Structure 1
Amino acid sequence: MQKRRFAMVAVLLVFLAGCTQTGMYPMYPEQKPRIVFSDWYLRGVFNWWEAKPAYQLQRGNSKWYVDVELIADGQPYDFKFSNANWTLSQTCGGSYKGLRVILSEPTVLSCAEQAENLQFIPKTTATYRFAVTGNTDSQIILTITQL
């Protein structure tokens, strides 16, 4: 009887010891990588989704921007922001697929796995400024204006 009780206590102790292990997962939240705006490109149907130098963001006073000439044909332009390698942590877009960006209205971007294609439909053929502000510690805001 004592051997059996001892065996049950030993099994219970082994079980409880296993429950106290933290394993390989840290107990603190994972930090999101900071977006590197200087490495970002505006990528979309207007440039075949490529990271072309003409579409790399430039630093302004309080924002990063790129100017793009768009033709107003009534069709939406799909686009996102990312670096040259499409690094997931450096890719930002809409919170859902086809989120429509309205001229001069700020739009909050979603990054990493949540980044879906944004859409913009220009009303007139012109040059448009795609400007972003913010950082990963707060929100990244996109505003498109006509120049």
Structure 2
Amino acid sequence: MKTKLSLVLATLFLGACSSSVTLDDIVPVEEVQKPLYLRGDFSLWDAQPEYQMEKVAPAIYETKIKLSTPGKAYEFKIADADWSENYNCGYLDEGLDKQLEIGLPVQADCNSVYNYFSFTPAEEGWYKVSINFSRFSKPLVTINQVFE
């Protein structure tokens, strides 16, 4: 009995010392309430069905796009059909978040007006754009090349 009590106390003590849990980690994820679209110069900024973001995991949405002009800077945002408040996502900080690079997440501001993301593909191909709302007030946007 004494051994079990010691083990429980040691576990609680070590857990409290090494824990890095924050309030953001235990607050339930806020759900996206509207369909989102990848909107940009490739879609004439319209909310087109082929660019609708699909939920692939809790708080994570993605879509694919074929980019056919290597070296061209594609501009885009992630937004609902009406460019609504909280659903109009562009870059948060121009110096840090505007230019996307393969596999590197950047922060989004979903109350932006003209803050378009920019991506310049090195080669023609399919790309997956995703947005992660795990922290709803500071979502992350990522682009990756898809090999099919």
TM-score normalised to structure 2 length:
0.68
| Rounded Cα–Cα distance in structure 2 between residues aligned with 1:37 and 1:145 | 25
Amino acid at match of 1:133: N
- Matched residue SS, 2:86: helix
Which runs of structure 1 show a deviation greater than 3 angstroms over 4 or more consecutive aligned residues? 135-138
Contact 1:91/1:111 (<8 A) preserved: yes
Task: Give the fraction of aligned pairs with identical amino acids, expressed as a percent.
Answer: 26
| Mapping of residues 1-147 of structure 1, within 5 Å | 36=32, 38-62=34-58, 63-96=60-93, 99-113=98-112, 116-135=115-134, 137-147=136-146
Q: CA deviation at 1:100?
A: 0.5
The change in CA–CA distance for 1:103 and 1:82 in structure 2 (over 3 A counts) is same
| Rounded Cα–Cα distance in structure 1 between residues aligned with 2:34 and 2:53 | 6
Q: What's the RMSD between the two structures over aligned residues?
A: 2.2
Moved more, 34-43 or 71-80: 34-43
| Rounded Cα–Cα distance in structure 1 between residues aligned with 2:104 and 2:136 | 22
Which deviations, in whole Å up to 9, do the C-alpha atoms of 1:55-91 show, x marking residues without a partner?
Answer: 1101113421000000133121010011011113310
Contact 2:89/2:108 (<8 A) preserved: yes
- Matched residue SS, 2:57: coil
Q: Provide the aligned length of Structure 1 versus Structure 2.
A: 114
Gaps of 5+ in 1: 1-33
- Matched residue SS, 2:39: strand
Gaps of 5+ in 2: 1-29
Contact 1:41/1:83 (<8 A) preserved: yes
Q: CA deviation at 1:115?
A: 5.8
